Structure 1
Amino acid sequence: MPVRVPGLFTLVLHTHLPWLAHHGRWPVGEEWLYQSWAASYLPLLRVLRTLAAEGRQSVVSLGLTPVVTAQLDDPYCLDGMQHWLANWQLRALEATTLRNQEALRDFGSREHAEAGRALEEFDTLWRHGAGPLVRQLIDAGTVELLGGPLAHPFQPLLPPRLREFALGEGLADARQRFAHTPTGIWAPECAYAPGMEQGYAAAGVGHFMVDGPSLHGDTALGRPVGDSGVVAFGRDLKVSYRVWSPKSGYPGHPAYRDFHTYDHTTGLKPARVTGRNVPSEEKAPYDPQRADAAVDRHVADFVDVVRRRLISESERIGRPAHVVAAFDTELFGHWWYEGPVWLERVLRALPAAGVQLGTLRDATAAGFVGTPVQLPPSSWGSGKDWQVWNGEQVSDLVQLNVEVVDTALAAVDKALEQSATPGAPSPRDFVADQILRETLLTVSSDWPFMVSKDSAADYARYRAHLHAHATREIAGALASGRRDAAQRLAQGWNRADGLFGALDARRLPRP
């Protein structure tokens, strides 16, 4: 039996995509959703269901943003996903018929089997969306659910009223979908501004994630923020970066499937990385056995890294330490094809090697909490500050957001005031609801991130301005006394942006 190492290890996964339904297909749009669903969400849920069936508990703290779960439960998206999986199967079948391309035919056979498995699993288990599947994992104690605010806004740049509303509605959305209200959140972009912990405490949030530098690199224990009692857990970069960093990590190994190299006939990805500077046309064919051996080596390496880190950090602080490794869920499968297999093996190998697994909630309950701390303004973006979301490159979006939010709040306040009846409950206001829905989509942190990183920047700016236009159009009709026109406009925009059906403008804090 391996010697048990001191302390606790927590794996945190952050699952998020912006609202993509009804907003383009290729190269950016719904295709992004379906690729991530097929490559990451399906296999991740398969892994977690397998571990749950074995009675394993407290395996992972799983962050699911309201905007991604809205899509994974949406009938339109479920239908689109089924069509996408069937198309994947057909493309793989086509690859098996190509002449004079033996390697691609063999690859197509494997892809055809994998697509068939995914399609059968989707039809059998996902008929009613992700909600029931995730709830089973929460009920089994296999995962801790981490929530977040609606539409993933960069919270430090929001006025307090909208920040409070987005968080409260996001937690309510999770409660409605999963019959569980998260007590922990993955703050969008790990973004923090002084004072936000008070809002968390008021919303019933007891712990949240920040990046390691926010705690000055000392992530060995969670830290209460000020006198709030709300605990900030920091990502251990020495461990997390072993898997994936801006410059290196396991997915770049020559044996793994190359994400960027396509067969343009079938749209499949039949090559392996081969080498860092090898051009796509010279990439070697993918070899599953070679990749599988690399997975085992990287599992062993990661287990060794975690063991050594727990031992060294425990010695440094003079008590059992807590190590948190945190990643975007989409890394596992979408960006790194072998990621889900690595994940399942590492979650078995760590306990077998004497490492105790636990969630962030477990860490709090077990006392892996240090002395209070004051956190600086921070994020997990470049520079660990706010520059990705409020830098010069996105100053136009920052100004757009300020103007749209001011317009929206004024319009909603007026709408609710008009509909109020003294001595009686105010009725639900569909127009006010849609104004807030479009506003939250406008201020999604995804748009400035994509611009700053030059990743589909034109699409990101288009989306931000589209939702800003919707907000202004509805609010303008309302402000000019054309309530019927505002109602028609709200209904029209709702056909594309009808997510968060329980969003209720009446819960917006009053000015």
Structure 2
Amino acid sequence: MFCLVLHSHLPWLANHGRWPVGEEWLYQSWAASYLPVVDVLRRLGEKGHENLLSLGITPVLAAQLDDPHCLEGLHHWLGNWQLRAHEAALRPGGRDLGAREHANSAWALQQFETLWRHGASPLFRELIEANTIEVLGGPLAHPFQPLLDPRLRAFSLAEGLTDAKTRWGRRPRGIWAPECGFTPSMEHGYDLAGVKHFMVDGPALHGDTTLGRPVGEADVVAFGRDLPVSYRVWSPKSGYPGHAAYRDFHTFDHATGLKAYRVTSRKSTEKAPYDPHLAAAAVKQHVDDFVHTVVRRLSSESERIGRPALAVAAFDTELFGHWWYEGPAWLEQVLQALPEAGVRVGTLTQARAEGFVGQSVHISDSSWGSGKDWRVWAGDQVADLVQLNAEVVETALAALDKNPSELRNRTNDQLIREALMAVSSDWAFMVSKDSAAGYARDRAHRHAHATREIAEAMTSGQFAKAERLAQDWNQVDGLFPALDARRLQV
């Protein structure tokens, strides 16, 4: 069996800047990845395809895809995209680019206005109920769980699964743990939360990813990312998106912000114009290569272990369309070509139910980041953020424990909401990778500041002030309205 797993995630960006980092990041990913990937899944589902893949959607991304402010912002962004296409068409030599981008933006506007304008949840619920996909959930706000206080870790996971059920009508049985972060004993927390399976990176299972593995004594199975298969598509050094025929992500026309070139040179001034026909031929070539890779891998691993083997390929959803423009076309063709080549395509739930599970294993500290350890989220470069996170969590829990409430208390809710936002794994990742590190540090400290000032007002007995502060911060960070701090009280 072959399982494709996609991980869809962006940090909370609404009301936190626009460009170059902020809401623009959300709208680019939404238009380039989420719209076309969902379209691929819907069309394949209409053709009768079922159990195509396991789709991870983090609660913080799901919140943005349903948020009225974000929906309005995307609609404006799509309209602006079309205006930029018209501008490109009027410039010397820009006719082909303008026509291509006009067609793309018109399609995106039509998709949004007919299917997405009331949020993403109805679309995902439709795919889930039709058994087109399995959905994977996760904890609120995407924390790096191994470094998080166990009490807040359990709360975040339970609330995340509840949030998923509210949006999609089903509580996910599987999760994509943020950053695939793991430390021993977490399997028991998963078991208690009703999680039946989760993803780890291949090295966490010592490279033997041909079967899912129960973890310790818990009734939960870890599925490992098959690196030889996954790295054919995307790796730190190679992969299909780097092919010279594909549209270049990094180089764009400065007058319009549109991407007019293909990957032909490291120098932006020497890149060749994008040619859709060359790109289509490369997609076909890479579909064939991937199918052959999967067939060979499954054949060799089945022979090695003496039973039918499993291969799990896992990627960020944003790779398909946003980072790799041709990715959705490749995805659609692969999902049809694999069954034609005799490969059974299924979900992680199916893999477990059909016995693609081996002997139990003990997993050590791990992630899918650099070095497959915790250095990205706990290394020297982010030691200050690790300390900040610990202080924020301690402050929030102490204030909550000092001021418990039998009734729903919006101040307590906002206190925990801001603490969870402060400890998002995204901030340390962006600093370690030097990707908008200033923005990331600012976000971490801003949420930490919100947590502190609400907590200080509460612990000093200034409850009216604490309530005003909580209301003000909620105007910016009002996601997860069902979050109830009473479920975190001692």
User: Conserved in 1, the CA contact under 8 Å of 2:59 and 2:138?
Assistant: yes
Corresponding position of 1:132: 122
Q: 1:373 aligns with which of 361, 365, 370?
A: 361
Q: Distance in 1 between matches of 2:278 and 2:91?
A: 24
Q: Which amino acid counterpart does residue 313 of structure 1 have in structure 2?
A: E
User: Conserved in 2, the CA contact under 8 Å of 1:224 and 1:231?
Assistant: yes
SS at match of 1:373: coil
User: Conserved in 2, the CA contact under 8 Å of 1:225 and 1:372?
Assistant: yes
Corresponding position of 1:498: 478
Are 2:295 and 1:301 aligned?
no
Q: Which amino acid counterpart does residue 277 of structure 2 have in structure 1?
A: Q
Corresponding position of 1:4: none
Corresponding position of 1:470: 450
What are the residue-to-residue correspondences of 1:105-184 with 2, within 5 Å?
A: 105-184=95-174
- Show structure 1 runs of 4+ deviating over 2 A: none
What are the residue-to-residue correspondences of 1:71-470 with 2, within 5 Å?
A: 71-99=64-92, 101=93, 104-275=94-265, 277=266, 279-416=267-404, 419=405, 426-470=406-450
Q: 1:385-419: per-residue Cα shift (whole Å, max 9, x none)?
A: 00100000000000000000000001111221xx3
User: Conserved in 2, the CA contact under 8 Å of 1:164 and 1:509?
Assistant: no
Q: Which amino acid counterpart does residue 137 of structure 1 have in structure 2?
A: L
User: Conserved in 2, the CA contact under 8 Å of 1:407 and 1:472?
Assistant: yes
What's the C-alpha RMSD, in Å, of the aligned pairs?
A: 0.6
Cα offset, 1:431, TM superposition: 0.5
Q: 1:225-250: per-residue Cα shift (whole Å, max 9, x none)?
A: 00102100000000000000001100
Q: Distance in 2 between matches of 1:451 and 1:267?
A: 26
Q: Distance in 2 between matches of 1:335 and 1:127?
A: 24
Cα offset, 1:509, TM superposition: 5.2
Q: 1:483 aligns with which of 463, 467, 485?
A: 463
Corresponding position of 1:24: 17
Q: Distance in 2 between matches of 1:497 and 1:236?
A: 37
SS at match of 1:96: helix
Cα offset, 1:120, TM superposition: 1.1
Q: 1:331-382: per-residue Cα shift (whole Å, max 9, x none)?
A: 0000000000000000000001100001000000000000000001000000
Q: Distance in 2 between matches of 1:333 and 1:412?
A: 43
Q: Distance in 1 between matches of 2:394 and 2:6?
A: 34
Are 2:49 and 1:59 aligned?
no
Q: Distance in 1 between matches of 2:141 and 2:345?
A: 30
SS at match of 2:324: coil
Q: Distance in 2 between matches of 1:479 and 1:467?
A: 18
SS at match of 1:11: strand
Q: Distance in 1 between matches of 2:151 and 2:461?
A: 25
Q: Distance in 2 between matches of 1:121 and 1:93?
A: 20
Q: Distance in 2 between matches of 1:229 and 1:408?
A: 32
Cα offset, 1:61, TM superposition: 0.1
SS at match of 1:218: coil
Q: Distance in 1 between matches of 2:454 and 2:176?
A: 32
Q: 1:149-203: per-residue Cα shift (whole Å, max 9, x none)?
A: 0000000001110000000000000000000100000000000000000000000
Corresponding position of 2:7: 14
Q: 1:24-72: per-residue Cα shift (whole Å, max 9, x none)?
A: 0000000000000000000001000001111111100000000000000
Q: Which amino acid counterpart does residue 433 of structure 2 have in structure 1?
A: K
Corresponding position of 2:41: 48
User: Conserved in 2, the CA contact under 8 Å of 1:215 and 1:234?
Assistant: yes
User: Conserved in 1, the CA contact under 8 Å of 2:400 and 2:489?
Assistant: no
Q: Which amino acid counterpart does residue 145 of structure 1 have in structure 2?
A: V
Q: Which amino acid counterpart does residue 80 of structure 1 have in structure 2?
A: G
Cα offset, 1:281, TM superposition: 1.2
Q: Distance in 1 between matches of 2:300 and 2:472?
A: 59
Q: Distance in 2 between matches of 1:196 and 1:319?
A: 30
Corresponding position of 1:422: none
User: Conserved in 1, the CA contact under 8 Å of 2:138 and 2:176?
Assistant: yes
**Gapped regions of structure 1 (runs ≥ 5):** 1-7, 420-425
SS at match of 2:350: helix
Q: Distance in 1 between matches of 2:389 and 2:144?
A: 11
SS at match of 2:403: helix
Q: Distance in 2 between matches of 1:58 and 1:509?
A: 39
Q: Distance in 1 between matches of 2:16 and 2:403?
A: 28
SS at match of 1:209: strand
Q: Distance in 1 between matches of 2:487 and 2:202?
A: 34
* Aligned residue pairs, count: 490
Q: Which amino acid counterpart does residue 195 of structure 2 have in structure 1?
A: V
Q: Which amino acid counterpart does residue 117 of structure 1 have in structure 2?
A: W
